[in-house]
């Protein structure tokens, strides 16, 4: 991975979530949750089984490889898009040399029943609290997938952006679900977002009157607007009091020619996240620019693996279900 950054505060990037999207269909029967959810040890990840949903999409596959690299074991089954044929793939991490075979089950009614049945078997083998999910699917599937995870007592890391985020949080909180939900999983990106949120809280309207402009470029297969951009813009709006419209004013680049002109290297056209935010004074004499440019997926994949390990420790602690952010993961020192 190559990271190119020019910092106002610190550098990072937005998420790359092109995967095989699906919306989980509720099965006719669900896994029974245990009243006692305890891991073998809060620091022992050898019993964990991580179901990475969205493979063979590149972001989901990168997350699965990162899990292997960090010593986690993959669930032998995972969900893929409803238009995909059932298949078994081998996930291999080139760094550690670790590999695992994973059966990909389409998210049809029949497939969802199969995944629920498989979950029961895996839980019987390793314990209820030791099975967790990672979701890198499709924006249109976010809300339904999260409900499936919550109702089947499956703690999850939601790396997929898009969907109705307010409803997502409401649904998970009302179900006491264990989850890490964030628009971006990269350590440096999360630190940048936390810093901007702190600035906006301490110095609201410090850039009052300044005009905000935002341009973001992702691979052309990314379906939605950058979730990271939306989060960063929220803080910049607090600082500037600009009436920036998240739906109308972000300049999205999704074609190769525009991305190349924006500075993306040719080899990264299929996996990158470039962002530029510009604040300009009313008379045009002062300009502040924040850039965070990432080529590749490694920074997000490794942050995702750290997030699932963090979540497993919370599940194993015996606490009530809670939705965490990546800032919680960062503050806990869980990002390696």
Active site residue 218: yes
What CA–CA distance (Å, rounded) separates 199 from 238?
9
The helix/strand count (H/E) of the chain reads as 9, 14
Q: Give the residue carrying structure tokens 């990158």.
A: 272
Q: Using an 8 Å Cβ cutoff, are 127 and 151 in contact?
A: no
Q: Show the tokens assigned to 290.
A: 């924040």
Q: Using an 8 Å Cβ cutoff, are 60 and 77 in contact?
A: no
Stretch (H or E) spanning 2: strand 2-6
Q: Using an 8 Å Cβ cutoff, are 15 and 161 in contact?
A: yes
Active-site residue identified among 70, 138, 218, 291? 218
- Torsion sign across C-alpha atoms 305, 306, 311, 316: positive
Active-site residue identified among 20, 70, 187, 222? 222
What CA–CA distance (Å, rounded) separates 70 from 193?
25
Active site residue 222: yes
Give which of 74, 67, 79, 77 is closest to 49, Cα–Cα: 74
**13-24 in b/e burial notation, b at 16+ Cβ within 10 A?**
bbbbbbbbbbbb
**206-220 in b/e burial notation, b at 16+ Cβ within 10 A?**
ebeebbbbbbbbbbe
Residue 62, SS3 per DSSP: helix
Q: Give the residue carrying structure tokens 């989060």.
A: 231
Stretch (H or E) spanning 118: helix 109-126
Catalytic positions, written as ranges: 218, 222
């Amino acid at each position: 991975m190559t990271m190119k950054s020019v910092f106002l505060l610190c550098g990072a990037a937005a998420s790359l979530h092109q995967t095989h999207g699906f919306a989980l269909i509720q099965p006719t029967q669900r896994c029974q949750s245990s009243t006692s959810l305890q891991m073998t040890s809060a620091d022992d990840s050898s019993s964990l089984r991580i179901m990475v949903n969205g493979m063979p999409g590149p972001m989901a596959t990168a997350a699965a490889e990162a899990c292997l690299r960090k010593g986690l074991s993959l669930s032998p089954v995972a969900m893929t898009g409803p238009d995909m044929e059932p298949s078994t793939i081998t996930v291999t991490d080139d760094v550690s040399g670790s590999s695992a075979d994973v059966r990909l089950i389409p998210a049809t009614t029949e497939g969802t029943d199969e995944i629920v049945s498989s979950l029961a078997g895996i839980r019987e083998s390793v314990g209820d609290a030791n099975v967790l999910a990672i979701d890198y699917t499709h924006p249109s599937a976010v809300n339904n997938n999260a409900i499936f995870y919550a109702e089947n007592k499956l703690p999850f890391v939601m790396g997929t952006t898009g969907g109705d985020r307010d409803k997502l949080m409401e649904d998970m909180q009302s179900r006491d679900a264990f989850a890490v939900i964030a628009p971006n999983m990269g350590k440096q990106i999360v630190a940048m977002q936390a810093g901007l949120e702190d600035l906006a809280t301490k110095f609201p309207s410090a850039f009052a009157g300044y005009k905000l402009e935002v341009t973001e470029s992702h691979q052309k297969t990314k379906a939605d607007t950058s979730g990271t951009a939306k989060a960063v813009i929220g803080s910049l709006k607090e600082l500037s009091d600009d009436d920036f419209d998240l739906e109308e004013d972000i300049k999205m680049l999704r074609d190769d020619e525009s991305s190349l002109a924006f500075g993306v290297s040719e080899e990264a056209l299929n996996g990158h996240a470039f962002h530029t935010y510009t604040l300009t004074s009313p008379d045009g004499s002062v300009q502040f620019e924040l850039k965070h440019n990432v080529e590749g997926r490694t920074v997000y994949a490794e942050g995702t693996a750290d997030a699932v390990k963090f979540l497993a420790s919370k599940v194993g602690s015996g606490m009530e279900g809670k939705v965490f952010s990546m800032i919680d993961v960062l503050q806990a020192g869980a990002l390696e």
